[in-house]
Amino acid sequence: MKVTIIGAGYVGLTTGVALAYLGHEVIAVDKDPAKLSLLREGKSPIHELGVESLMSLAVSRLSFTDSIPDGLGQAEVALIAVGTPPKLNGEADIGYVEQAAKELAEKLQEGQTCTVVVKSTVPIGTNRRVALVIERALAARKVKANVYLASNPEFLRESVALPDTLYPDRIVVGADRAESIAVLERLYRPILEQTFAPPKILPRPEGYGLPRLVATDPTSAEMTKYAGNAFLAIKISYINEIAGLCEKVGANVTEVARGVGLDPRIGRRFLEAGLGWGGSCFPKDTSALLAVASEYGYGMPIIKAAREVNQRQRQLVVDKLSSTLKVLRGRVISVLGLAFKANTDDVRESPAIDVIRTLVDRGAHVHAHDPVAIPNAQRELDGLDLEFLDCPYAAAEGSDALLIATEWDEYRTMDLQRVARVMKQPIIVDGRNIIDPESARSAGFTYLGVGK
Ligand code: UDX
């Protein structure tokens, strides 16, 4: 099928690359010239597993451009995957989505049939709004086209966005007309039936069954995305709340999570206690849900509490550092990990960034390290007085305490004896519970985890 994707960010780019790999002809539109020139050279602007190799495998079916082509390049499907940044009141801003819809409507031709798919995470009711924007733009041009709307939220995780796209648990499609569902079913058929040859770099997971297609109405599809992300955020905050009480009573949250997670009604995943959640989805989606609820005068105390607990986690690690060191002012603290989670260079809403700001504010000198996120963190922390080091041992050198803020494998496997030798005082606050406390203690560390 011919597909046009508007927005080549995390979602648009990975979806476009996957669809081209599956055999569709994809045109990806993005306004950022720097991003476009990288993409045209076959380079990925994001640190994401498999993007460059799949781009090279699908190069003949994938092109990048800065504006929507006339007639959308004869696309049967146009996916809108632009950003929906939070407004001051927490609500997701659909300005870019509307703009994309308008530009798209300006390029539609008389008699053309196209299914417009909203892939961005958007507030409830956006589909209807997008339909209206397109309808009005077409009417102003006196052009008649058959435009069908569908909502198709994504559930991909950063760092494994491509495997999540190729091997999803489910594909949710919300549309009022059966035709739109049928078009998306055709678009995703290679995934739904797993008929494609898995790329070497992204093999099909062992025991993977076929994904389910959940066909529903647009509003339910939009709500599914928010409800899913909020649930996961609540699950993490829940275990973090339990972790705090574990510390008080002398229980170990890792053991508790194992015991609890073996109940299939609860499940083992997303029960890792630590610094809490960040990233582009959970913070934004929980706040967007609260904003929608408040428009209706409806309280959502569980989601509100999950956000509060998440914020508190960031403060708790600072409290651990200050209660161990007594005075933070004038101390050197190494912070290992800047990305909001491992295997990505994304620092949006990263707990590490927040904690560094607090530490610097409290007068500490921070040595920061991350395997890939330093350039993004430098931009985020521009103007703040701290040092970025290119290896964890260099970051640990001369420090009074070391805080692990991201669960990178590189930190799990550190030579703890070597780290202890270069530090002024061997203290570890393990904000992600990735170091074995016994190994840390036998290397001479004072070890403080979360919920242990
Ligand atoms: C999430 C959803 O998983 C995905 O389905 C949705 O489409 C987008 O949002 P992502 O933000 O990429 O994906 O990251 P995810 O792997 O879900 O982790 C989110 C945050 O939770 C990270 O900061 C991570 O460190 C934290 N986390 C995750 C925990 O603190 N504990 C856990 O047990 C799991």
Which tens digits make up the pLDDT trace of 364-398? Answer: 999 999 999 999 999 999 999 999 999 999 999 99
Per-residue tokens: 389: 């080091």
Q: How many CA atoms lie within 13 A of 196 on its CB side?
A: 22
The residue whose CB lies within 8 Å of the most ligand 1 atoms, and thus the one to mutate among 152, 158, 159, 404, is: 158
Distance 28 CA to ligand 1 centre (A): 26
Counting from 1 in the atom list of ligand 1, the atom nearest the Cα of 340 is 23
Q: Please tell me the CATH code under which domain 315-448 is placed.
A: 3.40.50.720
pLDDT in tens, 60-84: 999 999 999 999 999 999 999 999 9
Residue of minimum CA distance from atom 15 in ligand 1: 157
Counting from 1 in the atom list of ligand 1, the atom nearest the Cα of 344 is 12
User: Average pLDDT, stretch 280-288?
Assistant: 93
Q: With pLDDT > 90 as the criterion, what percentage of the chain qualifies?
A: 96
Distance 277 CA to ligand 1 centre (A): 6
Per-residue tokens: 85: 């940044």
Q: Where are the domains of the chain?
A: 2-215, 226-304, 315-448
Q: Is the pLDDT confidence value at 220 over 90?
A: yes
Instruction: Give me the pLDDT at residue 124, please.
Output: 87
Instruction: Give me the pLDDT at residue 86, please.
Output: 87
Residues 67 and 411: their CA atoms lie apart, in Å, by 43
pLDDT in tens, 299-311: 999 999 999 999 9
Residue of minimum CA distance from atom 16 in ligand 1: 157
Q: Please tell me the CATH code under which domain 2-215 is placed.
A: 3.40.50.720
Residues 308 and 287: their CA atoms lie apart, in Å, by 11
Q: Is the pLDDT confidence value at 26 over 90?
A: yes
Q: Evaluate whether 2-215 and 315-448 have a shared fold.
A: yes
State which CATH number among 1.10.1040.10, 1.10.10.10, 1.10.600.10, 3.40.190.10 fits the domain covering 226-304. Answer: 1.10.1040.10
Q: What are phi and psi of 369, to 5 degrees?
A: -140, 150
Residue of minimum CA distance from atom 34 in ligand 1: 270
Q: Is the CB of 354 under 6 A from ligand 1?
A: no
Residues 319 and 362: their CA atoms lie apart, in Å, by 11
Instruction: Give me the pLDDT at residue 125, please.
Output: 86
Indicate if 114 belongs to the active site: no
**Alpha carbon distances (Å) from 448 to 271, 274, 349, 357, 451:** 19, 11, 24, 21, 9
Element (H, E) at 186: helix 178-187
Counting from 1 in the atom list of ligand 1, the atom nearest the Cα of 159 is 12
Instruction: Give me the pLDDT at residue 29, please.
Output: 97
Counting from 1 in the atom list of ligand 1, the atom nearest the Cα of 281 is 9
Q: Is the pLDDT confidence value at 92 over 90?
A: no
- b/e per residue, 409-430, with b = 16+ CB within 10 A? eebeebebeebbeebebbbbbb
Q: Is the CB of 226 under 6 A from ligand 1?
A: no
User: Rounded mean pLDDT of the chain?
Assistant: 96
User: Average pLDDT, stretch 206-217?
Assistant: 96
Residue 134 contacts residue 104 (beta carbons within 8 Å): yes
The residue whose CB lies within 8 Å of the most ligand 1 atoms, and thus the one to mutate among 15, 84, 157, is: 157
Q: Is the CB of 272 under 6 A from ligand 1?
A: yes
Q: What are phi and psi of 68, to 5 degrees?
A: -65, 125
CA-wise closest residue to 293 among 226, 369, 360? 226
Residue of minimum CA distance from atom 25 in ligand 1: 341
